[in-house]
Structure 1
Amino acid sequence: MQTRGAIIRQAPGKIEVVDLEVDDPRDNEVQVKLVGSGLCHSDDHIVTGDIPVGIYPFALGHEGAGVVTKAGANTKGLKEGDHVVFSFLPSCGHCRWCASGQQNLCDLGAGLLSGARWNDLTSYRLRLAGSDTPVGQMLGISTFCETTTVAVDSVVKVPEDVPLDVVCLLGCGVGTGWGAAVNSGGVQPGHTTIVMGVGGIGINAVQGAANAGATAIIAVDPVALKREKAQELGATHGAATMEEATELAKELTNGQGADQAIVTTGVIQADHVGQAMASIRKAGTVVVTALGNIADTTPLPVSLSDITLFQKRIQGSLFGASNPNWDILRQIELYRSGALKLDELITTTYSLDEVAAGYQDMHDGKNIRGVVRY
C-alpha cells in the first residue's frame, strides 16, 4: 500500500516527507498505522551523519505507537486492532541476553542500522513510490511513516485505554532516561543524583530518580526552560553548569559528592564524563546514556587512580538497561497512578510535514519533547 514518511537521501542530509510504498506483513510481522511518534535526538544523529546507516534513502523515526492493521503468520498473538508501542530495540526472547533479563542487548540489535530486516540484510519493507528503490527503516520500524511494517519483536501490546499519542514516548525517551536512574544508576532512597542535560532523556532520568526515592535531584542544563520543567517533574534543584551542580552536591552531602551523575546531554563530549566523575562520591556511579559521533575516540579525561582508589564506576546505559516487554507495561501503570508524568513532557505537537521544524525547535532549546500526531 502507499503511505507517506520522513526520509533523508544522504548524510549529512535534509529531512523531507515523500510518498512511499510499504509491503504487507510477512511471517512474524505486523503492519501498524501510527497514532503518535516522539521526536528523539537519535534521529538527528542519523541526519547529521554522527551515526551512519547501511542504506539511503532512510526513513526516520523510532519512538512511536499505533494500531495493528494487518498481521502475518506467527505473530505471537498480535492481531488486527491491537494497540502497540514500538520498542526501538527488538527482543527475540531466547538469546543469551533476553533469557538473562537483558532484552535491551538482544542479538537482533546487530543489524539495526542496516535499514533491512535483521534476518535477511537484502530484504526491505519500504520503497520510494513508483520505483524499485528500497528505503531503509530506522531501527527496523520508521515511526515517521503514517503506516509501517515491522517485526513482532519490535512491538509491545498495550491496553486500549491509554492514549497512544502520549505513551508513544515509552518506546525510547522515557525508558532510556527512567532506566538510566533506576536500573543503571541504582538510585536508592536518600540518594543525591545529578542529571546532566535535561531534554527528552534527562527529564525522565529526573523522574526515575524521584520514583526511586532520591531526596536531592540536581537538574543541570544551560536552558532555563528545561531546568524549570525538571523542577516541576521531580528535581529539587536546578543548575546551569556542572561546576555549580558539583558544589551543590557537595554542600548537600557533607563534602562527599553525588551518589550518581547521569550524562544525558544532547551530543556527548569526552569532557562531560570527566565532569561527571568529578561530581560523584567514593564508590559513586557515572551513567553514560548520551550519544554523539560514534566514530569519536577522544580519550576520556578521567583519573585512573580515581577509579581504583575511590572505587568510582562508569556505567554505560542502552535504553536504560530496560526489558521493554516488562518495563513499558509497568511504566504505563506508573503513568496511570500519577507517579510517572507523560502528558507534561510534550511541549509541542507537529504534523508529519512539520518533522524538520520540530527538530529545529529541539536545537533551539524550545522543546522537552516534540510529538508527531497523525
Structure 2
Amino acid sequence: MQITGAVLEVSGADKPFAQTRPLRVAALELDPPQAGEVLVRIDAAGVCHSDLSVVDGNRVRPTPMLLGHEASGIVEQVGDGVDDLAIGDRVVMTFLPRCGECAGCRTDGRLPCEVGSAANGAGTLVGGGIRLHGEAGGEVFHHLGVSGFASHAVVSRTSVVKVDADVPAEIAALLGCAVLTGGGAVINAGRPASGERVIVVGLGGVGMAALLVAVAEGHEVIGVDAVPAKLELARELGATSALAPQEALDAGIRASVVIEAAGSARAFETAFALTAPGSTTVTVGLPAPDARASLSPLTITGEARTVIGSYLGSAVPARNIPRYVDLWRSGRLPLERLVSSRIRLGELNEAMDRLAAGGELRQLITF
C-alpha cells in the first residue's frame, strides 16, 4: 500500500534544519505484515531527542530512514500467528522490541533485548526484514522498529502494547517512550522508598515524565533545569521546588534518587553531585558518543554510591504501560501537560530546531 512518511536521506545536516530540510515528506510503498507483524494506522507521534540525534548525526543509523519511534495507532491488519490483537485495537508503539528469549530479555527489563537491539541498529524489523520502499523502489530503513512519522507502519507484534479504547491517541503515544523511559527511571531503576526525595535533572519530555510519575507515587520531587519556563511548569505539576542547576548545587540539596534526563555530560555531573551518600544516580539521557563526564571514584567508594544506566526506563512495556494507564485514568498522572505543541508532518524540520534549542517537552504530530 502507498503511505506518506518523513524520510531522512542523510544524517548530519547543517542547522538550522528549517533551511537545510534534511527530512522530506514523501510517498512510500509499505509491504503487508508478515508472520508475527501488524499493520498500524498512526494516529499520533511524538518528536524526541532520539529522533534528533539521528538527524544531527550523533546516532549513526543507516539511511534513507523513515524516522519516528514514539507513536500510537489503530491495528488495521495482522500477520499470521498474531492471535491476541484484532482490527480496531488501539496500540502503543515502543522502540525496543523484545524477543523474550535472549540473555537481555531474561533480566526483566534491566538490559535491552539483544535481538531487538541488533535489529534497531540495522534498521530492520525483528525478523530481519524491511517493509518500506521509496518511490524508485529502493529500501527505506525502519527507525527503532517503529518508523512512526508516517500515516501507517508495519511493526513486529513485540513492538506494540494494546491499551483500552478510552486512552486517547496522544496519551498513548507518550506512553511509548517519554513515560516508559522517564517513569521507568523512577520505578524500575531508582526505586525510591516510600516518601523519599527524588531529584530530576533535565526537564524535557522524558525528565518531566519522570517528575510526574515520582509525584504520582507520592515522593517529594525537586526539578532542575536551566530553562525558567520548565521550572515553572515543574512547580505546577507538583514539584516541591524547581531550581537552576547552579542554584541546586549552591543550596546543597541532596536526594536518595537523582534522575539525569538531559543527555549531557554536564547534567550527569550535576546529578551525581546532588546524590546523597548511600544513594543512587540514574542516567537515562543519551549524550553524544564522544561526551565524557568527570566523577570521583573515591566518592563512589567512600559514600557507597550507586550509578545506574537505564535504557527505556529498564521497562517491560507490557507490564509497565498498564500501570501508567491506571495512574492517568485515576487523575494522578496528567500526561496531557507534557504536550508542548501539535504539528503536522511537514513541520518536522522546524520541530527539530525547536527541540535542539531546548524549549520543548513533546511536540506531537497528529494525523
Fold shared per TM-score above 0.5: yes
Q: Does 1:334 align with 2:327?
A: yes
Q: Tell me, yes or no, if the aligned pair for 2:70 and 2:176 is still in contact at 8 Å.
A: yes
Q: Tell me, yes or no, if the aligned pair for 2:74 and 2:90 is still in contact at 8 Å.
A: yes
Structure 2 CA distance for partners of 1:221 and 1:100, relative to 1, 3 Å: closer
- List gaps (5 residues or longer) in structure 2: 14-21
Q: Tell me, yes or no, if the aligned pair for 1:188 and 1:212 is still in contact at 8 Å.
A: no
Q: Does 1:283 align with 2:278?
A: yes
Q: How does 1:196-215 map to 2 (within 5 A)?
A: 196-215=201-220
Aligned to 2:256, what secondary structure does the other structure show?
A: strand
Offset, 1:249: 5.0
Q: 2:339 aligns with which of 343, 346, 356?
A: 346
Offset, 1:247: 3.7
Q: 1:41 aligns with which of 49, 70, 76?
A: 49
Q: Does 1:124 align with 2:119?
A: no
Aligned letter for 2:259?
A: I
Q: Does 1:65 align with 2:72?
A: yes
Structure 2 CA distance for partners of 1:166 and 1:104, relative to 1, 3 Å: farther
Match of 1:172 in 2: 177
- List gaps (5 residues or longer) in structure 1: 251-256
Aligned to 1:139, what secondary structure does the other structure show?
A: coil
Offset, 1:91: 1.6
- Structure 2 distance, partners of 1:208, 1:336, is 13
- Structure 2 distance, partners of 1:80, 1:297, is 45
Q: Does 1:11 align with 2:16?
A: no
Match of 2:304 in 1: 311
TM-score normalised to the size of structure 1? 0.91
Aligned to 2:363, what secondary structure does the other structure show?
A: strand
Offset, 1:280: 1.5
- Structure 2 distance, partners of 1:222, 1:275, is 12
Aligned to 2:41, what secondary structure does the other structure show?
A: strand
Q: Tell me, yes or no, if the aligned pair for 1:187 and 1:213 is still in contact at 8 Å.
A: no
Q: Does 1:239 align with 2:246?
A: no
Q: Tell me, yes or no, if the aligned pair for 1:288 and 1:316 is still in contact at 8 Å.
A: yes
Q: 2:108 aligns with which of 79, 101, 106?
A: 101
Offset, 1:132: 2.0
TM-score normalised to the size of structure 2? 0.93
* 1:211-268: CA deviation from partner (whole Å, max 9, x where unpaired): 33222x2211111111111112221111112x31134353xxxxxx221221111x42
Aligned letter for 1:262?
A: I
Q: How does 1:290-301 map to 2 (within 5 A)?
A: 290-294=285-289, 296=290, 298=292, 300-301=293-294
Q: 2:264 aligns with which of 265, 268, 275?
A: 268
* 1:250-291: CA deviation from partner (whole Å, max 9, x where unpaired): 3xxxxxx221221111x422x332222222211111111101
Match of 2:256 in 1: 259
Match of 1:254 in 2: none
Aligned to 2:121, what secondary structure does the other structure show?
A: helix
- Structure 2 distance, partners of 1:213, 1:35, is 32
Q: Does 1:74 align with 2:69?
A: no
Q: Tell me, yes or no, if the aligned pair for 2:258 and 2:272 is still in contact at 8 Å.
A: yes
Aligned to 2:144, what secondary structure does the other structure show?
A: helix
Q: Which runs of 4+ in 1 moved over 4 A?
A: none
- Structure 1 distance, partners of 2:31, 2:249, is 52
Match of 2:145 in 1: 140
Identical-pair percentage: 34
Aligned to 2:231, what secondary structure does the other structure show?
A: helix
* 1:169-191: CA deviation from partner (whole Å, max 9, x where unpaired): 00001111111122211122332
Aligned letter for 1:21?
A: E
Aligned letter for 1:182?
A: I
Aligned letter for 1:189?
A: S
Aligned to 2:334, what secondary structure does the other structure show?
A: coil
- Structure 1 distance, partners of 2:83, 2:185, is 29
